[in-house]
Amino acid sequence: MFIWQKNGIVRVLKDGALLPTPFLDFSSKVNTYNDNGMLGLAFGPDFSDTGSVYLTYVYEPNGNPNDTRTKMARLVKVTADPANPDVALAGSEATILGDFPVDYGTHVLGTIRFARDGTMFFGNGDGASPSSVDANALGAQDLDSVRGKIFRVNRDGTAPSDNPFYDGTDSIRSRVWCYGVRNPYRFSLHPTTGEPYFADVGWDTWEEIDRGVRGGNFGWPCYEGNGPQPGYQSRFGQCAAVSSVIAPIITYPHSGGDLNSAGTCIVGGDFYTGNRYPPSYEGNYFYADYSGNWIHRLVLDANGNLASAAPFANGILAPTCVEQGPDGLLYYVSFSTGEIRRIRYNGPVAVASATPSYGYSPLQVSFSSLGSTNPFGGTLTYSWDFGDAATSSLANPTHTYSASGVATFTATLTVRDSNNLTSSATVKITVGSLPPTPTIFTPADGTGFLPGQTVSYQGSAADPDEGALPPSSLKWTVLLHHNTHVHTFVGGTGSEGSFVAEKHDIIGTFSYEIVLTATDSSGLAASTSVQLPILADTTSPTTPSGLTAATASSSQVDLSWGASADDAAVAGYLVERQGGGSADFVQIGTATDTTYSDTSVTANTSYSYRVRAIDASGNVSDYSAVASATTP
């Protein structure tokens, strides 16, 4: 198994073990800001003969993987070493296509799929703002733009002559298979028709699965789901000319729908062609939702049209990829846990619980198998091993533990069905100890913060048996709640810490939660948390003062100014220039501190400059006074 990582490293899992040497390491040239990274990998159809491996990633030319400036994404090929195909040949990378702009760190290249005829499909998102109406999204309707398309190319990047918009050259439109999509970063090809079935990640309202018919227009940004997109329809007259839009196979809303289908980030999956699951799953299209934490399936008729839809798995934790493996089982990536998980048909499901799960000796514990199920019906038998040599065959037994000092026992429930398939679950019991009580001193629950403000937190914990716990026993976790999903950040250990609140999306769609977990020497842990809403910031920074412009040479002018103040924090400064052929002031750059060097000037030319401050919410100050300089 080849495992490509967001940071540009490709690992190999062989015989159940992760090999110590990566297949390749592109981490020094892969940008990972926001959703950027290495986003797709596929073996060439001739891999066994040539060792060809194809990749998509966002190129980082400056060596900083978190750089937020505009980047370019690439489709490349590397070659496995014939002497050791578990590593790539050094220097074998060849860029096939490399001009896919990435403006906002999202909606870029992703999946690569090879058709039976050897041609290659890959998708590219619109590269537009994920949070506001953006003219860049209109590129999805322009056949001469790389934005918002699924492409079909030969393995060398040239355009197949039977593509729908082929014009006799290797132009962008010649490579287009279908268009009008927002972010088709995961898709697969129908095993019979060869058409791409893709998930298009929605914007404000709808998620959708589409059948990528040859030459089809799927409407974005003028259409979303089954209808017009009001934000773009009201802003851009070009949408009036968008017609003959292909309707999705299935859609679901971000809110107001079935809770089992709630989600805001759809993930295209794979067609099931194996025989390791019940026959009713054969030919189904399995797809997921990153924020909904589920996998669903579509049942298609013989012509590839939707017959029905059904849930498959819930609580699977931020899926970003669903694939059928060569063993006939489904695999998915759980992004939040950093795991690749395999879905097997295991028979019954065991669920075990205990009340209480801690206390002083002698400790009487009531065990429960409530929630244990046999998905295909029939009775279950129960077997409990309490971890102290005692057992029980009751479904819900009671057991008393005795121990001197502190002791931890692991109780195991095993359920068995009529086919002799089993499943087990465990629960830990701690005797001789009680859990600690953590307390967050600051910030208080419900305290509001502005984007850009520093959030400082402080807390402690007391234990009934050990008294005040040391700072090393305290762990902080910062959760960013966004619509129906959660981003998790490790806040470190100790009694205090801080982070900077960001403007993640539209105010009201996200908030923060700080969680403090305390663990005592017996291993018992307890948590407490505070909720922190993010408030709208409508106050602009103060105007930068004292702007000066000094010529450093005939090709450089150095600017400096006094810092602005803001009710949250100044995020940076926008630098504008007039002169050198421009009658109007135009923005030439940004600065994070109070200096800027303009190195795009020419000799014997007069220039005027002005700067504005901007905060994390996008509020800008008034312009500074103008400063001028003439290059020698």
pLDDT, averaged per 10 consecutive residues of the chain (632 residues), comes to 96 94 97 95 96 97 91 97 96 95 92 97 94 92 97 98 98 98 96 95 91 97 94 92 92 72 88 85 94 94 89 92 94 94 87 98 98 83 98 98 96 92 95 98 96 95 97 96 84 92 90 97 96 94 97 96 94 93 90 95 95 93 96 94
126 and 243 part of one domain: yes
Q: In sequence order, what DSSP letters do the residues of 281-292 get, joined into one string?
A: GTTPEEEEETTT
The β-bridge relationship of strands 358-359 and 422-431 is: parallel
**Residue 521 in domain:** yes
> Domain tally for the chain?
6
Q: What is the CATH number of the domain that holds 304?
A: 2.40.10
Alpha-carbon distance of 613 to 541, in angstroms, equals: 6
Query: How much is the pLDDT for 419?
Result: 75
427 and 449 part of one domain: no
Query: How much is the pLDDT for 421?
Result: 85
Alpha-carbon distance of 629 to 354, in angstroms, equals: 77
Instruction: Single out the residue in 315, 344, 373 at which a domain terminates.
Output: 344
Residues paired with residue 615 on neighbouring β-strands, in sequence order: 570
519 and 619 part of one domain: no
Residue with tokens 């990528």: 212
470 and 595 part of one domain: no
Query: How much is the pLDDT for 256?
Result: 61
* Residue 162 vs residues 168, 276, 415: alpha-carbon distances, Å: 10, 37, 57
Instruction: Single out the residue in 288, 317, 344 at which a domain terminates.
Output: 344
622 and 516 part of one domain: no
**Residue 194 in domain:** no
Query: How much is the pLDDT for 484?
Result: 80
Residue 235 CB contacts under 8 Å (≥ 6 apart), including other chains: 133
Residue 58 CB contacts under 8 Å (≥ 6 apart), including other chains: 30, 31, 32, 36, 37, 39, 71, 72, 73, 74, 102, 108, 109
Residue 438 CB contacts under 8 Å (≥ 6 apart), including other chains: 459, 460, 461, 474, 516, 517, 518, 526, 527, 528
Note the pTM of the prediction, 2 decimals. 0.60
Alpha-carbon distance of 629 to 209, in angstroms, equals: 57
417 and 476 part of one domain: no
Instruction: Single out the residue in 412, 431, 450 at which a domain terminates.
Output: 431
Q: In sequence order, what DSSP letters do the residues of 54-113 get, joined into one string?
A: EEEEEE-SSS-TT--S-EEEEEEEEEEETTEEEEEPTT--EEEEEEEEESSS-S----EE
Q: What is the CATH number of the domain that holds 483?
A: 2.60.40.10
Q: Are 558 and 606 spatial neighbours (Cβ–Cβ below 8 Å)? A: no
**Residue 199 in domain:** no
Range of the domain at 77: 1-98
237 and 147 part of one domain: yes
Cis peptide before 356 (omega within 30 of 0): yes
Direct distance between the N- and C-terminal alpha carbons of the chain, in angstroms, rounded to an integer: 62
Query: How much is the pLDDT for 206?
Result: 92
